[in-house]
Amino acid sequence: MKFSLCIGAYSGKDEIYHLEKIKEHGFQGLEYYAWWNLEDLKRVAKEQERIGVGISATCTKFMNLVDASLRESYLEGARQTIEACRILNVKSVISQTGNVLEGIPREVQRQSMVETLKRCAPLFEEAGIILEVEPLNGLIDHQGHFLQRSDESVEVIDQVGSPYVKLVFDVYHQQVTEGNVIRNAIGYKDRINHYHIADNPGRKQPGTGELNYFNILKAIKETGFNGFIGLECGYTIDTDTALDQFKKEILEPVLAQLETLN
């Protein structure tokens, strides 16, 4: 497993500061969502090389998959995002789905999503980049978001049928939406490219809520997963202190136990 932080983990600090901190903590990547806000992509690429840690995930410039009338806008945004990823050496691109369209059958919207993703798949395959669809909870954070459940998300991915279109499994969102976190997190492992983690309630760092992240991370690791797990969370205390606690109290015990078992 590799671990990433998300931009904003250090409030008011830029991407270079975040990359330096990620290196300091022994993590491996930064999720910087709005790549178009970076003033100079080539400069960031040089800084990544200097630091030895880079941006591991970003987002599509346009984020509506359910409205067929916006398909060409989505595809153009995807092309621009792929070009940015080439410069930054980013291998994962996250997309949300957009909100439910009133008055249009759900199946029509789902098929629009599938068709748009099928159109995107060859672009991402050629670039060697994974496009990741992310279900989000509609109860607290994203009311009206189309994809919310794991099972429906997997159905969409299976219909697209491309190894370059997968899922982000956000443990926090799926706990809010459906629970049954470990079963789904490992049961759908073949369709998942990376994970997001935060605790519930509050969406703060692991260890502050009801989720047993020792067991969750242990289960994910036991599947052989070697991709990124992103700490997409707020912090109840100083970020550095919170990260040190996460490593000491959760991550290191998980790895130690698995090493013992092996």
Render pLDDT for 2-28 as a digit per residue (tens, 0 to 9): 999 999 999 999 999 999 999 999 999
DSSP 123: H
Is residue 126 predicted with pLDDT exceeding 70? Answer: yes
- How far is Cα 257 from Cα 262, in angstroms, rounded to an integer? 9
* pLDDT band with cut points at 50, 70 and 90 for residue 141: very high
Cβ distance 230 to 6 under 8 Å? yes
Which residues are CB-contacts of 185 (< 8 A; sequence separation ≥ 6)? Answer: 169, 171, 174, 192, 195, 216, 219, 220
**Residue 88 pLDDT:** 98
Domain count for the chain: 1
Which residues are CB-contacts of 230 (< 8 A; sequence separation ≥ 6)? Answer: 3, 4, 5, 6, 29, 31, 56, 57, 194, 195, 196, 197
CATH classification at residue 91: 3.20.20.150
**Residue 259 pLDDT:** 72
* pLDDT band with cut points at 50, 70 and 90 for residue 152: very high
Whole domain around residue 120: which residue ranges?
2-261
* pLDDT band with cut points at 50, 70 and 90 for residue 222: very high
Is residue 261 predicted with pLDDT exceeding 90? Answer: no
Which residues are CB-contacts of 96 (< 8 A; sequence separation ≥ 6)? Answer: 63, 133, 134, 136, 142, 145
Q: What is the pLDDT of residues 170-201, one digit of tens each?
A: 999 999 999 999 999 999 999 999 999 999 99
Q: What is the pLDDT of residues 224-253, one digit of tens each?
A: 999 999 999 999 999 999 999 999 999 999
**End-to-end Cα distance, the chain:** 16
Percent of the chain with pLDDT over 70: 99
On average, the pLDDT of the chain sits at 97
